[in-house]
Structure 1
Amino acid sequence: MNFLFADNKKNFSMSEQLETAWDKLQEKLGGWFDSIIVSLPNFLLAVLVFGVSFFLSGYISKLILKLLHRTKMQRSVKIMISKIVSVVVIVVGLILALGIMNLNKVLTTMLAGAGVAGLAIGLALQGTLSNTFSGIMLSVVDNIKIGDWVSTNDYVGEVVDINLRNTTLKQPDNKYVYIPNKLVVENTLKNFSSTTTAKVILTCGVGYESDLSLVEEVTTNVIKENFNDIPNSEVQFFYTEFGDSSINFELRFWIIAKKQMDINIAKGKAIMLIKSAFDANDINIPFPIRTINFTNPMTIKGNNQPNSNQSDN
């Protein structure tokens, strides 16, 4: 009888516990349902805010891209900036949506995780990000642009492209050089196209028998007659030294040029014109001559002469 009573008591206790657990579960579900009902307006408003920010990001991105097309920035940089603006708008919408739903703890956790992830990505892609920001800087500043003839990092050529990774130069031999943007920003850059004028420097020499006044007059007249793109530009002529075989002079004049090739073409044309003018006026451009003096007289021994070392028979 005692064992039967104990079993009935045990069964009664288990059924009572199950009933209590079920009541607590119903109470918990009811609380959740009440919370959902109460938070439903905020949830709908948060979804609306995020959806509006999502669609607004596309519109703003297109507007930014349209405005950037009026600048001289590279297309790749323009697209990247428009995408960054689009992502910023979406992130702002997400933050507002989480704030409306009172999920401040979730927002704090997301921001902390994004900071850690951003730090890790930044350390891993340090070189790439450096080239990217350098590319943006090169696209914004006026020191260099496509079509300029520049010299940087021991390379000379025409700038044909500036993207998010490197700057492309087309050298005079028609070869392409790809220089990381970071090196272009950090090292010295010489831009030959920053001005529309360039100075051509030419050196030459004339014989010692030449009339130096005539040489100066002929040379300067040739340059003034054939290189008059810049009105009232000065032609500088001055003798520099007494050379081994000639009296040397230096000639300087200005031309309109945007590339180093323009300077080379002008120099070649000037050399041909000066040579023709010198020939017409009997002005000699000497070449080096070396004179050898022998201190001892030279004797030529004939083949039919007997050798002094031979003995007479």
Structure 2
Amino acid sequence: MIAWIAMCAQLTFGQDLISTLGQQDQTIQNEQTAEGRSVELAETDPHLSPIEMLQQTLNDIYQGFIERLPYLGAGLLVIIITWILSNLVGSAVFKIAKSRKLRRSLCELFSRLTIILVWILGLLIAAMIMFPGLTPAKALGGLGLASVAIGFAFKEIFENFFAGILLLWKYPFETGDFIECESILGKVEDISVRMTQIRQTNGELVVMPNSFLFKNPVNVLTDRDVRRITVMTGVAYDEDADQAVEVIENALKNCESVEQDYPVEVFLNGFGASSIDIEVTWWTSPTPLGHRKSRSEVVSAIKRALDDAGIEIPFPYRTLTFKEPLPIRKETGQAQND
């Protein structure tokens, strides 16, 4: 029994030894093969001409591109799906926000932020498909490093982007409002996250950076349904000023462009060079065209009412006073003929 156990142990040990030796031989052969390839490459590469090396490099690039082609196609398909999905999701978010009776600017803001988020996720997935070794952690880390350089390079673009978000979030004007900023007056046609398009009253289109609107005072002319207008007029000193005020008030009551629900204010303003100045104030449509129409109608009505009442709107008078009397000399007829 002991002899049989010893024999089995010897056989087992022999098999293990043979297996171990076989593995060592295989490892040695692999190392020799690798060394042989290295020696072969080392002996071959120096003999390649520059043109042959260039051809080999281009061939390697081409082979790598062919191998990556399925991944590139899948990534392109993801980008197309992202484009379609972003439009659908953006439209859905806009309709949901509109159904909640939010301001149009807020609806557009939520829609565009959703589109940006979908694009970020879609591009991240496409990058991970195109480059299989890329992970979300690596992508976000690379994005964090790149964002610093991009932030400095595109400072103004990002400034306009965040200004556009604040405009859509907080500012009272919407698409269709008339605004005035610095010397630009017109109708807002579109508000994007980077710029605002304003159509001026002469038909010209102004593309204004959002940061400019955010940093400068903006007059929103159509924030309310009405806007106040003031004009100055005057009557001669020898006319009854109180009667002139009453005549002007009655004249404005018959003007269609004057909002009768709001007070019409007519005040004696001061002593002018040739007349008693009268300030006339009323409310009308807030648009520039409505403003001009109403001003024209009111000025015409005041002029007609004062003329009908026999109240003079004087021309500028000039009275010259001399320190000493001026001598008047009558010319003779002969001098006059000459």
Length-normalised TM-score, structure 2: 0.65
Query: What's 2:293 paired with?
Result: 265
Choose the corresponding residue for 2:235, options 206, 210, 229: 206
For residue 129 of structure 1, report the CA deviation from its aligned partner: 1.7
Q: Is the 8 A contact 2:179 2:221 kept in 1?
A: yes
Choose the corresponding residue for 1:299, options 321, 329, 337: 329
Q: What do residues 113-144 of structure 1 show as CA deviations (whole Å, max 9, x unaligned)?
A: 22111221121111012112322332344512
Give me the identity figure in percent: 23
Gap regions ≥5 residues in structure 2: 1-22, 33-76
Change (3 A) 1:23 1:172: closer
State the alpha-carbon separation in 2 of the partners of residues 265 and 75 from structure 1: 35
Choose the corresponding residue for 1:111, options 118, 140, 145: 140
For residue 212 of structure 1, report the CA deviation from its aligned partner: 1.9
Change (3 A) 1:228 1:189: closer
The one-letter code sitting in structure 1 at the alignment partner of 2:27 is T
For residue 210 of structure 1, report the CA deviation from its aligned partner: 1.3
Q: Is the 8 A contact 2:109 2:168 kept in 1?
A: yes
- Bigger shift: residues 139-148 or 176-185: 139-148
Secondary structure, in 3 states, of the residue corresponding to 2:202?
coil
State the alpha-carbon separation in 2 of the partners of residues 131 and 216 from structure 1: 51
State the alpha-carbon separation in 1 of the partners of residues 296 and 196 from structure 2: 30
Q: Is the 8 A contact 2:89 2:115 kept in 1?
A: no
Choose the corresponding residue for 1:275, options 303, 315, 335: 303
Query: What's 1:20 paired with?
Result: 27
Secondary structure, in 3 states, of the residue corresponding to 2:254?
helix
Query: What's 2:263 paired with?
Result: 234
1:224 aligns with 2:253: yes
Secondary structure, in 3 states, of the residue corresponding to 1:145?
coil
State the alpha-carbon separation in 1 of the partners of residues 83 and 189 from structure 2: 32
For residue 159 of structure 1, report the CA deviation from its aligned partner: 1.6
Change (3 A) 1:22 1:222: farther
For residue 188 of structure 1, report the CA deviation from its aligned partner: 0.9
Highest relative contact order (Cα 8 Å, sep 6+), 1 or 2? 1
State the alpha-carbon separation in 1 of the partners of residues 113 and 120 from structure 2: 11
For residue 82 of structure 1, report the CA deviation from its aligned partner: 4.2
1:215 aligns with 2:241: no
Q: Is the 8 A contact 2:93 2:110 kept in 1?
A: no
The one-letter code sitting in structure 2 at the alignment partner of 1:158 is K
For residue 270 of structure 1, report the CA deviation from its aligned partner: 0.2
Q: What do residues 166-219 of structure 1 show as CA deviations (whole Å, max 9, x unaligned)?
A: 222222333333221101011111101111111121210001121222211111
Query: What's 2:56 paired with?
Result: none
- Going by fraction, where is helix more abundant, 1 or 2? 2
Choose the corresponding residue for 1:287, options 315, 334, 337: 315
Q: How many residues align?
A: 260
Change (3 A) 1:143 1:21: farther
Q: Is the 8 A contact 1:245 1:288 kept in 2?
A: yes
Query: What's 2:7 paired with?
Result: none
Secondary structure, in 3 states, of the residue corresponding to 1:226?
coil
Secondary structure, in 3 states, of the residue corresponding to 1:204?
strand
The one-letter code sitting in structure 2 at the alignment partner of 1:298 is I
Change (3 A) 1:21 1:127: farther
- Bigger shift: residues 260-269 or 169-178: 169-178
